Amino acid sequence: MKKTIFCLLIALLGAVLPASVQAKKVRNLRLTSYNIQHGEGLDKKIDHARQAKILRKAHTQVAAIQEVDSVTKRNGGLYSLEEIGRKAKMFSTFAPAINFQGGKYGIGILSKKQPMSVHRIPLPGREEPRMLLVAEFKHYVVACTHLSLTDEDRMLSVPIIVEEAKKWSKPFILMGDLNDEPGMPFYREMQKHFLFLNPAHDKTFPADEPNICIDHVAIFRPTPDATISYYRTWVGEETSSDHRPLHARLGLYK
């Protein structure tokens, strides 16, 4: 009898407590944002096995990769993203931004699961065209970008990114080399719409002695507290590029 009454009380509490208080199941997600400098490390060697090893070591499920060569002269005619993906056992999704040395140069997403849909959206870039690569998965959406070096172009990118994020009913996660530091105008404007997961002390560039934070992982608002159970970020120590990889682990409420 006592056990029955206890079970009834638990059921009643579950019915009256708000959803934010009730127990929720959490989906763990491991992410990496990495500007690979076309695969070239500080030792001037192009070695895609090193980038793949970094992703395997971090157990990355989705990676946003910037500065990717595809069949260019300097990378020996290799499709770099596919090479890394093959070695890391991940699907590759490429978004070329410019023609370069007989091939293409752009950004990409590597993922353990194949995206359900993919969208490539041009962004402002006066020194070179820029791109927003959006990959939809069953329970979330990941976007990769490498923004312009020009302040004005980055500011013009904000409404384009926000407009895309608003289209999705799933958690929308933005990763990439934003070429902007915490406290700068673009970053402050983006904070109105996104929660940045990595703190300012997560220095990612230059790889040998990192002193600035320009690589970021962020999730679209308005209610990240109802979307995220927990999160943490850390910077890898590798020097397989001129940037260090930025890793994140977060729990998304199911």
Whether the predicted pLDDT of 17 surpasses 50:
no
Is the dihedral angle over the CA atoms 146, 58, 61, 40 positive or is it negative? positive
Instruction: Return the domain boundaries, the chain.
Output: 25-253
What is the per-residue pLDDT across 101-133, written as a single tens digit (0 to 9) for each? 878 999 999 999 999 999 999 999 999 999 999
Whether the predicted pLDDT of 4 surpasses 70:
no
Report the number of secondary-structure helices (H) and strands (E) in the chain.
Answer: 5, 12
Rounded Cα gap, residues 23 and 20, in angstroms: 8
Query: 65 forms bridges with which residues in the sheet?
Result: 34, 108
pTM of the model: 0.89
> How would you list the strands of the sheet with 117-123, edge to edge?
117-123, 130-136, 141-146, 172-177, 215-220, 194-196
- Residue 153 is classified by DSSP as H
What is the per-residue pLDDT across 207-231, written as a single tens digit (0 to 9) for each? 999 999 999 999 998 777 789 999 9
For residue 95, CA distances in Å to 65, 135, 160, 184 come to 10, 11, 17, 27
Whether the predicted pLDDT of 9 surpasses 60:
no
Rounded Cα gap, residues 161 and 156, in angstroms: 9
Report phi then psi at 31, rounded to 5: -125, 155
pLDDT on residue 224: 76
Rounded Cα gap, residues 184 and 191, in angstroms: 11
CATH class of 25-253: alpha beta
Whether the predicted pLDDT of 100 surpasses 90:
no
Q: Which two tokens stand for residue 183?
A: 């406290």
What average pLDDT is seen over the chain?
90
pLDDT on residue 23: 60
pLDDT on residue 75: 79
* CB neighbour class for 42 (10 Å; exposed up to 12, middle 13-18, buried from 19): middle
Provide the CA 188 distance to its chain's centre, in angstroms: 19
